[in-house]
């Protein structure tokens, strides 16, 4: 078992780009409340509205509900700005079109740190498969950070921004960095529980059991009670 190195925390503004409402709440939100408590500014961007995420609820009704749950979940951890990009839940395509959309977002918000989710094929580096939207959005986010820094790529989509210092992919099986969330774990759990309709739709899912399991495993590697892990990339 490899130990986790601390992520840098000498930054002021981060942009979190993920595929769905709830993606950040499975561990990352407990880190985000740590950072908002330090006075840092963090903006949430959801590629979709999660409209295909509840089996018993039609997408036309589901999207608005999940947006509302995400806004409340963000409020709990101190995030005031949540954007939804309207990409199709479940069928996001990785490619130039998605990179273009995300490049414009990065140039508009001009963050120092960009946070996304694991975009590897699995969660455990072996057999637990990742979901297609996670892989598409995470990979496109990494590429869009480089695109945003190049004035000749998507020149009509905002002013060049080369100020991103690192990209952090949460929950990656290749994660080698972490942050202590022992003091903010309960708030992170509350933010996950705010996705009530989604959790109810999963049937039998225990948010506390899940979050404690992944956070305690991270803490073991970080030398704390609870921790969130990240794979760190430098553009």
Comparing C-alpha atoms, which of 1, 49, 16, 60 is closest to residue 167? 16
Q: Which CATH number does the domain housing residue 171 bear?
A: 3.40.50.10320
Strands 41-46, 13-18: pairing is parallel
Residue 2: the pLDDT is 84
Residue 193: the pLDDT is 97
When computed from its CA atoms, the radius of gyration of the chain, rounded to whole angstroms, is: 17
Q: Rounded to two decimals, what is the model's pTM?
A: 0.96
- Is the pLDDT at 1 greater than 80, yes or no? no
Angle, CA 58 vertex, CA 53 and CA 63 arms, to 5°: 60
pLDDT in tens, 86-130: 999 999 999 999 999 999 999 999 999 999 999 999 999 999 999
Domains in the chain, number? 1
Domain that holds residue 160: 5-233
Collapsing DSSP states into helix, strand and coil, what is residue 5?
strand
Q: What percent of the chain stands above pLDDT 90?
A: 99
Q: How many angstroms separate the CA atoms of 153 and 159, rounded?
A: 11
Q: How many angstroms separate the CA atoms of 111 and 139, rounded?
A: 18
DSSP 8-state assignment for residue 103: H
pLDDT in tens, 8-50: 999 999 999 999 999 999 999 999 999 999 999 999 999 999 9
Are the C-beta atoms of 172 and 214 separated by less than 8 Å?
A: no
- The count of other CB atoms within 10 Å of the CB of residue 118 is 23
Angle of helix 207-222 versus helix 185-193 axis, rounded to 10:
150
**Residue 58 CB-half CA count within 13 A:** 2
Mean pLDDT of 180-199: 97
Residue 137: the pLDDT is 98
Q: How many angstroms separate the CA atoms of 94 and 19, rounded?
A: 12
Ranges of H-type helices in the chain: 28-37, 59-76, 96-109, 132-148, 185-193, 196-202, 207-222
Q: What is the mean pLDDT of the chain?
A: 97
| Residue 224 Ramachandran class (φ > 0 left, ψ -120 to 50 alpha, else beta) | beta
Residue 4: the pLDDT is 98
**Residue 28 CB-half CA count within 13 A:** 27
Q: What percent of the chain stands above pLDDT 70?
A: 100
Are the C-beta atoms of 193 and 199 separated by less than 8 Å?
A: yes
Mean pLDDT of 70-78: 98
């Amino acid at each position: 078992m490899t130990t986790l190195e601390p992520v840098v925390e000498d930054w002021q503004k981060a942009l979190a780009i993920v595929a769905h409402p709830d993606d950040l709440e499975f561990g990352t939100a407990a880190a985000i409340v740590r950072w908002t408590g330090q006075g840092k500014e963090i903006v949430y961007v959801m590629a979709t509205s999660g409209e295909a995420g509840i089996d018993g609820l039609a997408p036309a009704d589901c999207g608005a509900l999940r947006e509302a749950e995400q806004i409340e979940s963000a409020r709990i951890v101190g995030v005031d700005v949540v954007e939804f990009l309207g990409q199709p839940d479940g069928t996001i395509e990785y490619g130039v079109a998605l990179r273009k959309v995300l490049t414009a977002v990065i140039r508009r918000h001009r963050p120092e740190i960009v946070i996304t989710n694991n975009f590897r094929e699995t969660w455990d580096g072996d057999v637990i498969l990742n979901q297609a939207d996670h892989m598409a959005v995470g990979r496109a986010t990494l590429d869009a950070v480089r695109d945003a820094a190049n004035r000749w790529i998507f020149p009509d989509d905002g002013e060049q921004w080369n100020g991103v210092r690192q990209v952090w992919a949460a929950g990656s099986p290749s994660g080698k960095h972490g942050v202590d969330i022992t003091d903010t774990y309960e708030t992170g759990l509350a933010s996950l529980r705010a996705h009530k309709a989604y959790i109810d739709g999963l049937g039998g899912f225990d948010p506390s059991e899940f979050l404690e399991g992944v956070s305690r495993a991270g803490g073991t590697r970080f030398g704390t009670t609870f921790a969130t892990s990240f794979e760190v990339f430098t553009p």
